[in-house]
Chain A
Amino acid sequence: MKKGKLSSLLLLSFLTLASSQAMAMPPVQEVISPNGITAWLVEDHHLPLIAISVAFRGGVEQDSKEKQGLSSLTASLMTQGAGTYNADAFQKRLADASIDMGFTAGRDYMIGHMKTLSRNKREAFRLFGLALTQPRFDLEDFTRVRDQQRVAVKSRLASPEWQGRYLLYKELYGEHPYGYRSLGSDQTLSSLSRNDLLERHHNGFAQNNLKVAVVGDVTASELAQDLDILFGALPKQAALKTIEPFSWPTEPISLAITREGTQTDILFLGPMLQRSHPDWYAATIANYTLGGGSFSSRLMKTIRAQEGLTYGISTSLIPMEISSLLSGSFSTDNDKAEQAVALTKKVWQEFYDFGVTQPEVKEAQDYLSGTMALALTSREAIADVLLSMQTDNLGRDYLEKREGLLRAVTREDVNQVIKTWFNPAHLFASFVGQPQGLTSDKAAEMVKE
């Protein structure tokens, strides 16, 4: 720690800082191992740390209706013993070397994370490789972690937000795998066996559905060798189920369920274009203006800042492989629910009818361009960005071209997207609480298990 001296510096110009900054992040390299496994790498040696993120295509949607929760349970158990190490021994080795490692099941991908000090790289890579290729799924750990997942399900059921989500997803998707609950239910968890996990792992983790991102204190030539240690033992081909297309129901409905409490939790869901669609950037600008832009959005300005009806209201785009979503949510006092929903619909309708203004487009472009720097502030975060650049097929030069793609969008482009994708008449809605003046289009009740 240093004590700075100030006196001599007072005369420096106000703006000295601006000119001296160069792009800090090193370039994105493509590394290919001797056995042909590819990773994207950002090399950085300022701190003795390495972060890895991996994605395997095929997530929760690979479960079956009766076996919901399988992908999540499989992911949790991959760090509970692998190779010759049982769960105890495996966790002890991770702790002793301060290795942070975990797997989760997303809607479309199984995601893995690992972070290590570079001095423990060899051990960390070996353990990560073991977890990926030889997880044990020992029976006692299977039982224990399944119980933990049951507890997690129960905790979610107490939350109005999850109640609304479960309700609406079920209504919207019906039998389609996108309606599956990622953690499953008490009943579906009971039906799972160790064999289900072995099969899920064997089918879902292979070289041909893998994407790898690495950031930190490792060189490209070292990593090329390491990739084979990490992933060389994976099967060449994954065996994934094909997911049926989903067509958005033409008759949206609103559902209300009664829950004890002082507020009503409100969720809207609508269809959204795909991430690969050329109009994606226009859609992100539209979303920013309507409800994505926190305090700058139309909904936040009206419902929170002007009317004080909520603590927060937001919308977001949820890109998914088969069918993307537009989602919006907020909560408000029960006796104000009718007024708040009516006002939200009014703001949304005006947005749909008249579109955005030129200054709004510029504002959104400024924010969305500038904010990329904020997503690249830690090794972990950079690894996640590199990973989604791969899963979304954005190209290795995406970070350089992204601002251009945003700036090229015109007001007309945005308004066209709004006409197709932001129609309030397409929205499904759920109200969880004791909303006054809001009714349910059909009978619905709380999810109990």
Chain B
Amino acid sequence: MAVLTRTTAWKNFLLSGFFAGALVLSSPADASVFSPTIYDLANGVRLIVVENPLSDAVGHMVWYRTGAADEPDGKTGLAHYLEHMMFKGTAKHPAGSFDAIIARLGGDQNAYTSYDTTAYYEIVPAKNLALVMSLEADRMRGLLIEENEAQSEKNVVLSEREERTGNSSVGAFREELRRVLFPLHPYGRPIIGLRKDVERLTPDDLRAFYRKAYAPQNAVVVVSGNVKHDQVAALAAATYGRLGGGLRPKQPPKISQISHPLKPLFIKEDARVKQPFVTRQYVVSSALKNRQDSLALDVLSEVLTGGEVGILYRHFVIKTRTASGTSAGYNGTTRGPSVFSITASPTPGQTVEHLNQDIAAYLQYLAHKGLKARDVEEAKQRLLDSAVFARDKLLAPAQILGEAEAVGLGAEMVEKWPDNIRRVSTAQVNAALQRLVSNKNMVAGILKPPAMEEKK
């Protein structure tokens, strides 16, 4: 949810909150997950390299420890707008040439902005890594922001906003729900920005934000693919290493860990909607705030909705037949508070309000009765196994390690994740469930057709 990308062509890389629990992964065979090698350049760039010998390609990512949550008041959408402008040229490489160069290599590239971070990636044949690193290093400090480019790109961003929210019933609903869940908190603003704010953003706003955020000590570079780590380090030194910087990696700015939602129930009717759904969103601990709690939530999410054997799926989809699908999502890799969500869609003939009440009651019942140790252990094993599958994806190490570093959690936490998951006890998962059901900082959001329509 909380991720915007530069084009629709971007394939969904699992970074959004929904499946993140199964993302920060590892292998049961050896204690680590991706076995990265980490370097710190003298100017503060942190470099992470993962060797992956199967393919001929390399994935390269640059993460900045700055996102939409760091925008000044009244300037929502600035981080994302700037992300678009990063493709609009430097003194060395004028507008359009970045796209053209990557295309000539047969490469794939894109960028995305979340509340906490901004990330850029390129996937190219491995022999072209040097070129990609020099391009990213060049635009880390050398971006030119020209008036006319900024104006036409603003139109693109506004068009993107309409495609995502004005024209999408689910998109508009999610934006409003976010405001209810995080009032007076930067996480409650739309990442894409309010239309009135974006319209007023100027090239000077972009430049000021750029100068502050796009600096070596605020950047994490991750390379994953058919490479040798020492060779990558040499390339990084020859490219990123030449930028003037701030000596050591910087910690990202703090974000308030608290939110008190406006109301516990938010219902939106939209005539375009044919299939209603409910999403119960709880404001919970991030891994930064409470590591143990976060690990227990990772397991809880898998116990509740892992595949077709999750407890909620079995109860509502298989047994009572009141839901056609259920999912739970938790991504603890955030600078501010994290969100635990449970989402379900009613079967034909059921009302979404009833389904919401039934889920709340069933969670209460589960918390009271306690989860079975066997269910917890099986969920843990599935999480551990999924680590091996994560290693099969070229960009996954760059995404997972990069995000963990960029929010201030550190790559070590990814590597220790399997061991930590193994140590989570049933009692801890039950305690997490009990906290969840008594958590007042939550909103049940419902999107449905207008009452008349639903009866038909």
Interface residues of A (CB under 8 A from B): 1-6, 9-10, 12-18, 20-21, 23-25, 44, 46-49, 51, 87-88, 91-92, 94-96, 98, 100, 115, 117, 144, 147-148, 150-151, 154-155, 157-160, 259-263, 265, 293-296, 301, 304-312, 314, 331-333, 363, 366-374, 376-380, 433
Contacts and interface: CB of A to CB of B under 8 A. Distances in A.
A14 B156 contact: no
B223 to A, nearest CB: 10
A151 B229 contact: no
A94 B59 CA distance: 31
Nearest to A311: B160
Interface residues of B, number: 98
Contact of B126 (A17, A46, A293, A379): A17
Most chain A CB within 10 A, of B9, B35, B37, B308, is at B308
A371 B385 CA distance: 30
B167 A6 contact: no
Contacts of B108: 371, 374
A309 B155 contact: yes
Contact of A308 (B7, B152, B162): B152
B123 interface: yes
B55 A24 contact: yes
B37 A151 contact: no
Interface stretch (B65-73, B175-183, B317-325): B317-325
B105 A370 contact: yes
Most chain A CB within 10 A, of B29, B321, B378, B385, is at B385
Contacts of B129: 17
A311 B156 contact: yes
Contacts of A379: 54, 392
B55 A333 contact: no
Contact of A293 (B103, B124, B127, B345): B103
Contacts of B57: 373-374, 376-377
B226 A21 contact: yes
Contacts of A115: 389
Contacts of B226: 21, 24
A24 B56 contact: yes
A13 B238 CA distance: 9
Nearest to A19: B127
Interface of B: 7-9, 29, 32, 35-41, 47, 49, 53-57, 59, 87, 96, 99-100, 103-108, 123-127, 129-130, 151-156, 159-160, 162-163, 166-170, 225-235, 237-238, 241, 271-275, 306-309, 314, 317-318, 321, 324-325, 345, 347-348, 378, 381-382, 385-386, 388-389, 391-394, 411-412, 415
Nearest to A380: B392
Contacts of B59: 377
B392 A370 contact: no
A94 B274 contact: no
A95 B159 contact: no
Given A1-B36, A377-B123, A367 B103 contact: yes
A2 B159 contact: no
Given A25-B54, A158-B272, A98 B382 contact: yes
22 contacts: A1-B36, A12-B230, A21-B126, A47-B54, A51-B392, A95-B308, A98-B386, A147-B321, A151-B324, A151-B347, A155-B274, A158-B169, A260-B271, A261-B166, A262-B167, A263-B163, A295-B87, A295-B100, A311-B156, A333-B159, A366-B104, A372-B106
Contact of B162 (A20, A47, A147, A262): A262
B231 A117 contact: no
A2 B37 contact: yes
Nearest to A157: B274
B381 A91 contact: no
A158 B270 CA distance: 10
Contacts of A15: 130
Given A259-B272, A262-B167, A331-B163, A16 B231 contact: yes
The 6 closest A-B pairs by CB, nearest first: A370-B106, A308-B155, A262-B166, A371-B106, A98-B385, A295-B99
Main secondary structure of the interface of B (DSSP, over half): mixed
Contacts, number: 267
A160 B166 CA distance: 12
A151 B275 contact: yes
A134 B35 CA distance: 42
B160 A373 contact: no
Contact of B153 (A148, A295, A308, A378): A308
A17 B235 contact: yes
Given A15-B130, A95-B306, A363 B104 contact: yes
B55 A311 contact: no
Contacts of B386: 98
Nearest to B161: A311
Most chain B CB within 10 A, of A9, A44, A147, is at A9
Nearest to A263: B167
B130 A17 contact: yes
Nearest to B415: A1
Contacts of B151: 308
Contacts of B53: 24, 46
A25 B163 CA distance: 40
B156 A304 contact: yes
A306 B152 CA distance: 7
Contact of A94 (B126, B130, B237, B307): B307
A368 B127 contact: no
A442 B389 CA distance: 51
B56 to A, nearest CB: 4
Given A47-B392, A150-B348, A294 B103 contact: yes
Contacts of B130: 14-15, 17-18
Nearest to B227: A17
Nearest to A155: B275
A433 B167 contact: yes
A98 B381 contact: yes
A370 B124 contact: yes
A17 B230 CA distance: 10
Contacts of B238: 10, 14
Contacts of A24: 53-56, 226
A340 B367 CA distance: 55
Given A4-B38, A95-B308, A312-B7, A331 B233 contact: no
A69 to B, nearest CB: 15
B107 A47 contact: no
Contacts of A91: 307-309
Contacts of A308: 151-156, 159
Nearest to B309: A95
Nearest to B84: A311
A3 B394 CA distance: 22
Contacts of A154: 274-275
A379 B451 CA distance: 48
Contact of A369 (B106, B166, B274, B392): B106
Contact of A1 (B125, B272, B385, B412): B412
Given A48-B388, A306-B152, A373-B57, 9 more contacts: A10-B237, A21-B226, A98-B385, A154-B274, A158-B169, A331-B162, A371-B106, A374-B124, A380-B392
A433 B324 CA distance: 29
A265 B36 CA distance: 44
Nearest to A288: B103
B450 to A, nearest CB: 12
Contacts of B229: 2, 4
B408 to A, nearest CB: 17
B309 A17 contact: no
A25 B274 contact: no
Contacts of B271: 260
